[in-house]
Amino acid sequence: MRVMVAMSGGVDSSVAAALLAREGHEVVGVTMRLWGGESDTGCCSVADVDDARRVAQQLDIDHVVFNFAAAFDAHVVQPYVDAHSAGATPNPCVECNRRLKFDRLSERAELLGFDAVATGHHARIGTARGRRTLERGADRAKDQSYVLHMLDQAQLGRTLFPVGGLGGGKAAVRQLAGRLGLRTAAKPDSQDVCFITSTGGRAEFLRRRVPLHPGRVVDAAGTPVGTVEAVELVTIGQRRGLGAGGATSRRFVVAVDRSSATVVVGGASELAVAETAVERLTWVDGPRLGEVLVQCSA
């Protein structure tokens, strides 16, 4: 089978490529050039591209780089900025998977005659009632199935997650990389949002793209209790960075009014809601008829 492996320069995708090559597949490593700005989070940097290329050399497989920077900015970075401005809490990894890895890259692979695209995600693909299912990775602590929730039957049929079912999970991935002598064996996992530096943070990044507005923090009675650097950086449920010390119990963000730049804080019980709206549902193995019991953790 001809398999295109999305190699980020990290240990998971390195081992994914190694496992497929060892199984006898025709493997080509591909690294997506996504971000031209600063990055120190272990993803999307020039050094990461070089790590992927060197691992491919170690495995004796071809390696190419696709420039998707414009699409990344349009479909991942700008929506991230827009979401903050609108008061939402974005997850850029979900959009990167939706619009880049399993859209642009998958289309490119199909055009080039590949049978499947493989990634280093900790997730598994199973079957139930004759249909493919998306399942959590063997290592529950590193499970990434939640950022793949948008994959449909056709996409799952063209996708491989070689490390998702490894017994021993992430520790086993690193051990295997070490035995193979891969340069990424001890490379730290990527952290946070790949296009935001740890030194500048969200505030500096967003400030370069949109106006940020300082806000006041009040309790349920409207009594001022603190301030925030920017209301665009505040999300429901947040507890830290509110400048609202001195309370006898923990306080959380329970509401944000961007029109008046006001953040309302309250106790944990005030976070409870009777209903919520859910958009862009994906029934991976087909829609279910009747009532559905949903369990959520946050």
**Concatenated DSSP letters for 84-104?**
HHHT----HHHHHIIIIIIII
For 36, the token pair is 């031209």
Is-contact 59 18, C-beta < 8 A? yes
3-state secondary structure of 121: coil
Exactly one of 43, 44, 93, 194 is catalytic; name it. 194
Cα–Cα distance between 266 and 256 in angstroms, integer? 12
Write down the residue that tokens 């804080």 correspond to.
265
Mark whether 44 is an active-site residue.
Answer: no
Cα–Cα distance between 212 and 98 in angstroms, integer? 28
Mark whether 194 is an active-site residue.
Answer: yes
Cα–Cα distance between 193 and 289 in angstroms, integer? 37
Exactly one of 43, 93, 96, 296 is catalytic; name it. 96
Polymer length in residues for the chain? 298
Helix H segments across 196-290? 201-207
Is-contact 47 217, C-beta < 8 A? no
Cα–Cα distance between 28 and 110 in angstroms, integer? 13
Of 3, 15, 23, the closest CA to residue 51 belongs to 15
**Residues designated as active site:** 96, 194
